[in-house]
């Protein structure tokens, strides 16, 4: 996604011909947008995929200690399955918290 920008001059000119003045600027989508807005629309399929990829991750994608893609359902197995789930979640949560701290380190300055 592009950083903060004015709309393309051709878009501003085209919209002006329709009586619409575009004076606002674009910005990348933020996690808080999902809380703050009732509706988020993508302009095309690639935009939608970018949004989903950026803000819709499986928890195992944060885990650095294991190669699993998903947390397995341990319900029909023995105690070792539940132990594995706890281990996966613990590793994923540690990495997730580390990434949140890094992403927000500028707030502590």
Query: The tokens of 24 are what?
Result: 């606002």
Distance CA(33)–CA(27), nearest Å, equals 11
Distance CA(40)–CA(23), nearest Å, equals 20
Decide: 95 and 107 in contact? Cβ < 8 Å. no
DSSP state of 6: E
Distance CA(104)–CA(109), nearest Å, equals 10
Residue in 44, 73, 87, 98 annotated catalytic: 73
DSSP state of 108: G
Q: Confirm whether 73 is a catalytic residue.
A: yes
Active site (catalytic) residues: 73
């Amino acid at each position: 996604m592009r950083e903060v920008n004015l709309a393309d001059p051709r878009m501003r000119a085209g919209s002006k011909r329709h009586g619409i003045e575009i004076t606002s600027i674009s910005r990348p989508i933020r996690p808080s947008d999902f809380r703050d807005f009732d509706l988020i629309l993508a302009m095309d399929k690639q935009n939608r995929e970018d949004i989903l990829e950026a803000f819709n991750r499986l928890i195992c994608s944060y885990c650095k200690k294991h190669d699993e893609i998903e947390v397995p359902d341990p319900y029909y197995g023995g105690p070792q399955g539940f132990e594995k789930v706890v281990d996966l979640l613990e590793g994923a949560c540690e990495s997730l918290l580390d990434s949140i701290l890094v992403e927000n380190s500028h707030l502590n300055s």
